Each structure stands twice: as C-alpha cells, then as structure tokens.
C-alpha cells in the first residue's frame, strides 16, 4: 500500500483515540512498537510522520523504547539512518534462521548473507538496541542445525533475542500441509531439546532468559512486551491491531480496505471486543506472571500445586514468589490451566 495512504489512515484512527477515557489522566507514552506486519516496507518518512503526530498529541517519555520490526532485506544504511533520525532506537530483526533451506521453506525473502549486513547498517545508524528473532521446532526433514543457528546469532552480539517455537494452526498453509501428510511436525521430545539447548546457550552467553520466548543482556529487556505481561494498558493502531486496558479488550478490522474505509470516514474500526470477568483476569495474571522470570506470588498458588511443581522440577521458590524453570516453561499452558 502507498505510504501516504497508510500514514493518513493510521493517524485518522489515532485521532479518534484521543477522546477515549483511558487518556483522561494524560499518560506519558513509555513505548511505541511498529510491528505486527512488515513496517519496514513503508517509506521511512512514514514512520517519522506517525511518530511526529503521536509526539505532537501526547508526551513521549525521555528515553522511551521505540521499536521497529524489520526484515534483513529491507535494511540499507540510508533506511536505518532515516529510522534513527525519526526516533527509532530499537530494531527487531526477523532472521528466523541462517540456513538457506529453512528460509526457502518459510518463503522468506532474505538470505543468510544479508543478516550481518543488516546488523552493520543498524549499528552504523547508531541504533544500540538490536533484537534477533529465531524460530525452533522445525520439521526434522529440513535437516536444520538449531545449535549452529544459535551460534551464528550470538556471534552478532545482539542485545536481545526472541525465540519462537513453530506451531501448527488450522487454516494456514502449514496446517493444510500437516493434515495432508506433506509436512511432519517436530515431535515433542525434539521440541523440548531445542528449547532447553537455547536456554542453556543464552544463559551461558550472559543473557537473562527473562520470559519464556525472550532473553536479553542486562538492561535490555523488551519494555514494550514486558508491559503486556504486566497487563499495562496499550493501544494498537492499524488493521488487526489489538488494544487492552483493564479488563477490556478490543481488536480492529482485519482487511486493509475495510479498515481504511472505516477510519477515513470517521466510523469505528473495531471488529470486536470483550470484557474479562474477575476470574478471567485472575487466571490471565497467573498465566502472564508464570511466563516471566519474576513468576507469581506464592500466595496465588495452592500449597499442593507448589509442592508438586517443585518435586517435578518445574518451579522453584524465590523469596515469596514461585518461578517456573525452563522445564516448567515447556508445560506453561498446562500448568497455568491446572491453577484455574
């Protein structure tokens, strides 16, 4: 889509938000995150214009974390310099793998050789907070070496890494390939081995594995995502964007044209919303807390559960809190559900 059209539409939605009750206390914006798609595809001037509009309407905190998701093949020195000049101080780079067969299978448009060049461009622009995204748990038939991918990622000395396990979802190409036998998903044992290998490698390299899918050097936790796990209020702009404040959740129209037409005509872009009940909020707090290195207050968990998790090596006490181990994180969904 043209940059001008995208910027004007997102700004139109932003203007509507200014009258929302959540802004009554005129909060200072602590983080801004350009993601949920490929924002690096739009002209850097568009990023600058959106940030300028936000900054004109609301106070952006000094030292706020402002992140842009980018693909390695979108990174040029001129683009990185323009992002930096606009206010971007953190880049999340979608590497996924350094192995050509994997990149081809995932229909990625970049090559492994473009990754270090992209990192050089980011550093040359003075952006000092770099996160690399990697994916594990890929089908064994690809012959991918997860250990080698980790080594190559760590050699680039990023401040942060995000590691995501491949999931098979219905109504996606991977889901259809799995259903027809074209692809055999990785088995649970190998998935666990790769997760634990990554945990050990990251901790051994001096990273804090502070959330099930994220690790950072000291002082480089992702503040934007950390706000989600604390259930801090957030707003999302753009098609399919989600917003949350207190017990309320809402999400935008998914298709660009429908979103665009609604936004520019002043109509609501909201596709759906829900209000969580007290029990749902409590369960969410436990689930999100267990995702993190801080865990949850021990008082939130029945004694028998704390004892059982400790006996199995899935959790440990830290002061007055219960924190999941790496082995426990592999069972996160089941453990959180057992509390409810």
Work out the average pLDDT over 159-169.
Answer: 86
Predicted local distance difference test score (pLDDT) of residue 170: 54
Distance (Å, whole) CA 53 – CA 39: 17
Query: Can you spell out the DSSP letters for 38-93?
Result: -GGGS-HHHHHHHHHHHHHHSPEEEEEEEEEEE-GGG--HHHHHHHHHHT--EEEE
Q: Which residue has the tokens 């704390």?
A: 306
Q: Could you report the per-residue pLDDT of 248-305, keeping only the tens digit for each?
A: 999 999 999 999 999 999 899 999 999 999 999 999 999 999 999 999 999 999 999 9
**314 and 331 in contact (C-beta within 8 Å)?**
yes
Arithmetic mean of pLDDT over the chain: 91
In total, the chain counts a number of residues equal to 340
What is the pLDDT confidence band of residue 167, given thresholds at 50, 70 and 90? Answer: confident
Predicted local distance difference test score (pLDDT) of residue 25: 66
Roughly how many angstroms between the first and final C-alpha of the chain, as a whole number? 44
CA dihedral of residues 86, 18, 255, 166 (deg, nearest 10): 60
Q: In the chain, how many H helices and how many E strands?
A: 14, 13
Q: Which domains does the chain have, with CATH numbers?
A: 28-229 (3.30.750.200), 294-339 (no CATH)
Q: Max alpha carbon distance in the chain (Å)?
A: 59
Distance (Å, whole) CA 206 – CA 220: 12
Predicted local distance difference test score (pLDDT) of residue 174: 46
CA dihedral of residues 172, 175, 180, 185 (deg, nearest 10): 140
> What helix, strand, coil percent values describe the chain, rounded to 5?
45, 20, 35
């Amino acid at each position: 889509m043209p940059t001008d059209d995208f910027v004007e539409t997102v700004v139109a939605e932003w203007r509507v938000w200014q009258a929302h009750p959540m802004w009554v206390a005129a909060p200072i914006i602590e983080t801004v995150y350009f993601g949920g798609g490929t924002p690096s595809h739009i002209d850097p001037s568009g990023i600058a214009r959106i940030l300028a509009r936000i900054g004109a309407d609301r106070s952006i905190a000094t030292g706020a974390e402002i992140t842009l998701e980018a693909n390695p093949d979108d990174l040029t020195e001129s683009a990185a310099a323009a992002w930096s000049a606009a206010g971007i101080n953190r880049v999340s780079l979608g590497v996924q793998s350094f192995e050509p067969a994997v990149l081809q299978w995932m229909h990625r448009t970049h090559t492994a050789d473009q990754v270090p060049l992209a990192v050089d461009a980011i550093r040359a622009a003075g952006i000092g907070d770099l996160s690399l995204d990697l994916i594990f748990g890929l089908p064994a038939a690809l012959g991918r070496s997860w250990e080698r991918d980790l080594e190559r990622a760590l050699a680039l000395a990023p401040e942060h890494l995000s590691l995501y396990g491949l999931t098979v979802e219905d109504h996606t190409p991977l889901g259809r390939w799995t259903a027809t036998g074209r692809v055999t998903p990785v088995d649970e044992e190998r998935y666990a081995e790769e997760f634990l290998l990554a945990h050990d490698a990251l901790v051994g390299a001096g990273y804090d594995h502070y959330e099930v899918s994220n690790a950072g050097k000291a002082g480089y936790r992702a503040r934007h995502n950390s706000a989600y796990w604390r259930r801090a209020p957030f707003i999302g702009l753009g098609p399919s964007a989600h917003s949350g404040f207190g017990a309320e959740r809402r999400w935008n129209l998914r298709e660009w044209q429908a979103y665009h037409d609604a936004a520019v005509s002043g109509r609501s872009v909201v596709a759906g919303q829900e209000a969580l009940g007290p029990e749902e909020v409590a369960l969410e707090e436990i689930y999100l807390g267990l995702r993190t290195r801080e865990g949850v207050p021990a008082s939130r968990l029945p004694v028998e559960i704390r004892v059982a998790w400790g006996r199995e090596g899935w959790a440990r006490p830290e002061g007055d809190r219960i924190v999941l181990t790496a082995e426990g994180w592999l069972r996160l969904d089941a453990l959180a559900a057992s509390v409810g």
